[in-house]
């Protein structure tokens, strides 16, 4: 099976605007002989630009397997309280090089609805001070010798928007609940350090035609991530 994802390399201009520096399509192929309805991506090595420039960290973000590059655009939403030993997760897609994302509104409201990290104050949702809520984005770091290994940086949500309204429950013992107008939410995370760009998930401007194949991209399994409560470091060997 094969489908395609367009990837871009962006850079900040002196006037504060952003521009596309290079543009390339990635072929998302299944492993040899795998023709199932759901399949793992084949890990081909890809280069998003033929003329790399900037710091080594910037260049390394444009090189990697198809899976690694996709993980820069489709990212895990993470939420955990300080001192906890597991991270709850969902999924979001980066849609701008400056750090805007889209996710499901129920993912955004999980700390409130599950009762572990937020409370309603008036018409607003206020998160606990010890709640870490944001996304993980992968990057390459130097491992032993000359090898590179994948690590993750946490980017907290700075702003969040969901569409709907509070609805009063007819039951006296139930709190008001949030009724979604749409299960889509928008979030903002900090920009990449050093002027580097986030990698948006670009979607084709061409409409679907009858009979055309469509593919959904995401994480097949979403178990909680184990962490060391003392250091906050990920100790789950299956994550990544």
Read off the CATH number of the domain in which 93 is found.
Answer: 2.40.10.10
Q: Is the pLDDT of residue 233 over 50?
A: yes
Bigger pLDDT: 96 vs 206: 96
The pLDDT value recorded for residue 3 is 39
Specify if 18 maps to a domain: yes
pLDDT > 90 in the chain, percent? 18
Specify if 36 maps to a domain: yes
Q: Are 240 and 152 in contact (CB under 8 A)?
A: yes
In sequence order, what DSSP letters do the residues of 117-160 get, joined into one string? Answer: SEEEETTEEEE-TTEEEEEEEEEEEE-STT-EEEEEEEEE-SEE
Specify if 137 maps to a domain: yes
Specify if 92 maps to a domain: yes
Specify if 232 maps to a domain: no
Question: Whole domain around residue 171: which residue ranges?
Answer: 2-212
Among 31-45, 84-98, 100-114, 218-232, the range of highest mean pLDDT = 100-114
43-52, Cβ contacts within 8 angstroms, sequence gap of 24 or more: 43/67, 48/7, 48/8, 48/9, 48/22, 48/24, 49/9, 49/21, 49/22, 49/24, 50/22, 51/22
The pLDDT value recorded for residue 189 is 96
The pLDDT value recorded for residue 231 is 67
pTM recorded for the entire structure? 0.78
Specify if 16 maps to a domain: yes
Please count the structural domains in the chain. 1
Q: Are 118 and 125 in contact (CB under 8 A)?
A: yes
The pLDDT value recorded for residue 2 is 36
Q: What is the mean pLDDT of the chain?
A: 78
The closest of 80, 118, 93 to 224, measured between CA atoms, is 80
Q: Are 128 and 117 in contact (CB under 8 A)?
A: yes
The residues near 193 (Cβ < 8 Å, ≥ 6 apart) are none
């Amino acid at each position: 099976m094969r489908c395609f994802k367009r990837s871009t390399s962006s850079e900040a201009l002196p006037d504060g605007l952003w521009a596309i520096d290079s543009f390339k399509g990635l072929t998302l192929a299944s492993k040899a002989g795998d023709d199932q309805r759901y399949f793992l991506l084949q890990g081909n090595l890809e280069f998003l630009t033929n003329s790399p420039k900037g710091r080594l960290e910037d260049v390394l973000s444009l090189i990697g397997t198809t899976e690694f590059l996709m993980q820069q655009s489709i990212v895990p939403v993470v939420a955990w309280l300080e001192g906890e030993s597991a991270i709850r997760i969902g999924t979001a897609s980066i849609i701008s090089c400056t750090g805007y994302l889209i996710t499901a509104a129920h993912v955004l409201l999980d700390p409130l609805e599950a009762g572990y990290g937020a409370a309603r104050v008036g018409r607003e949702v206020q998160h606990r001070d010890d709640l870490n809520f944001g996304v993980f984005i992968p990057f390459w770091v130097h491992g032993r010798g000359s090898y590179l290994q994948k690590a993750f940086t946490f980017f907290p949500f700075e702003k969040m928007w969901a569409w709907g309204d509070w609805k009063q429950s007819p039951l006296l013992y139930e709190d008001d609940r949030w009724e979604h107008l749409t299960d889509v939410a928008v979030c903002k995370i900090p920009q990449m350090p050093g002027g580097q760009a986030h990698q948006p998930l670009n979607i084709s401007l061409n409409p679907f035609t009858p009979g055309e194949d469509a593919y959904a991209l995401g994480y097949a399994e979403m178990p909680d991530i184990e962490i060391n409560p003392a250091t906050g470091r990920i100790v789950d060997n299956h994550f990544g």
